[in-house]
Amino acid sequence: MDLLTQDEYRAIAANLSLPTSAFIDGTFRPAASGQTFTTVNPATGEALAEIAACGAEDVDFAVAKARESFEDGRWSRLHPSERKDVLIRFCKLLTRNARELAVMESLDSGKTIYDCETVDLPETIHCLKWHAEAIDKIYDQVAPASDNHIAMVVREPIGVVGLVLPWNFPLLMLAWKIGPALAAGCSLVVKPAKETTLTALRVAEIAHEAGVPRGVFNVVPGGGAEVGEVIGRHIDIDMVSFTGSTVTGKKFLSYSAESNAKEVVLEMGGKNPAIVMEDAENLDRVAQHLVQGAFWNMGENCSASSRLIVHKAVKAELLARIAHHAKAWNVGDPLDPETRMGALVSKAHFDKVCSYLAQAEDVVIGGKSHNGAFVEATVVNVPNNDAVLAREEIFGPVLSVIEVSGFDEAIRIANDTDYGLCASIFTANAKRALRGACALRAGTVTVNSFGEGDISTPFGGYKQSGFGGRDNSVHAHDQYTQLKTIWIDLADDADEAVS
């Protein structure tokens, strides 16, 4: 993609028309209370817009309209190919509006325009297109039965789903959820993070323009207590998919247990290890992967490589190469296409990350913060895996380094965590790489690289990193469907009854 200049992006930003109201039943509506909250550009501290501060009454209305749209079949009972056609038109309109959405995303989240233009928007559209194309290619099953029976196992859309989004990848996480949910035929009530509401509202409007029927795709902005908890407890929501912190995710299990035992899928935090053994090839390339893994998106990434577990024989050389590559990860204006690290999403989160930096006793690289919004790419030595910086999810550009003497020790330390989202191992020994990949307790393990797989591979975690399902791939469709067995008796009346 050809990027614009900083001045050109600023010109687009100055002329954006920002959505400010909830999107329910195919139209924008103010909150029933009339209340609003201010959404802020984290890079400048300037107010962007006053957004509808919704509450229980708005959630009830959105759920009622979603239920109405689901039950009358305007979307849920469309032929799969018809849903596919609508979603393909949706992708075309998103492509047409991609630059506007990229600038909006950067302004609202602090993400760099470079990432928004080259990663977030293309991947968002690719995700939706992939699920659209999968709609009419996922077959149901016929189970083995007697000669007098046919047993069909069919998928049906689960119903009305609540989708609760994080603030670190507002567009992409929206796509990860609405792609399979819409493909399955569900009706949606989306709660974007309060910090990053704008693009979800605009995407819902574009979906309606593409032909997604009214009531099928609703967006209800507001706070966690006012909207998120209400969705989690709502008696007429059939399933909730949540991405965010482990602390908040666990609450949705309680909300479900205390209401209608709705299905719950959680994608939560991580403290992801990257193991570098003494035989790792091309340490310069290893360093590039580690820097990408630790500092991409300002470290505001649940799959970030936040623990480097490195063999003592290569530690010094590897850290020197990391220091070299970290210089390219400059902080600055997110609308400058030369900037690689933008602002942290909010002042509160900036303060949290800085509180961790204050505990660092052996800073190797970086460690400084700027203007109440920016944190430099930082590498710190920690004495062992019990250190706070090695155990707690910082969600900032901080890489904690732990020295080890051998393979077994590295695996043990890597698995010594409450989380299990992603892990990496760098080694030239193929047998060791496969042993490590099998031994690491994580949902995604990469060998000699940093990554999360792609749209065709399931994404989610072990232990307190995940619960109930996976995003991406055909497996994501499972969480938005129910399985039904249809048992057909073919026996003639003269035949003996067979149960």
For strand 263-267 and strand 466-467, is the pairing parallel, antiparallel, or unpaired?
A: antiparallel
Residue 477 and residue 470 in contact, taking contact as beta carbons nearer than 8 Å? no
Calculate helix-pair angle for 198-210, 170-184, nearest 10 degrees.
Answer: 30
Distance CA 379, CA 375 (A): 12
Burial class of residue 276 in the structure, from the number of CB atoms within 10 Å of its CB (0-12 exposed, 13-18 middle, 19+ buried): buried
- Listed residue (212, 179, 218) closest to 23, CA to CA: 218
Measured CA to CA, the distance from residue 491 to residue 241 in angstroms comes to 43
Alpha carbon separation from 323 to 284, 320, 328, 390, 424 (Å, rounded): 11, 5, 10, 20, 20
Dist CA 499 CA 491 (whole Å): 10
State the Cα–Cα distance between residues 174 and 186, nearest whole angstrom. Answer: 15
Tell me the C-alpha distance between 115 and 106, whole Å.
Answer: 9
Residue 452 in contact with residue 303, Cβ under 8 Å? yes
First to last CA, the chain: 62
261 contact partners, CB below 8 Å, separation of at least 6: none
Question: What CA–CA distance (Å, rounded) separates 299 from 294?
Answer: 6
Residue numbers annotated as active site: 267, 302
Do the beta carbons of residue 297 and residue 305 sit within 8 Å?
no
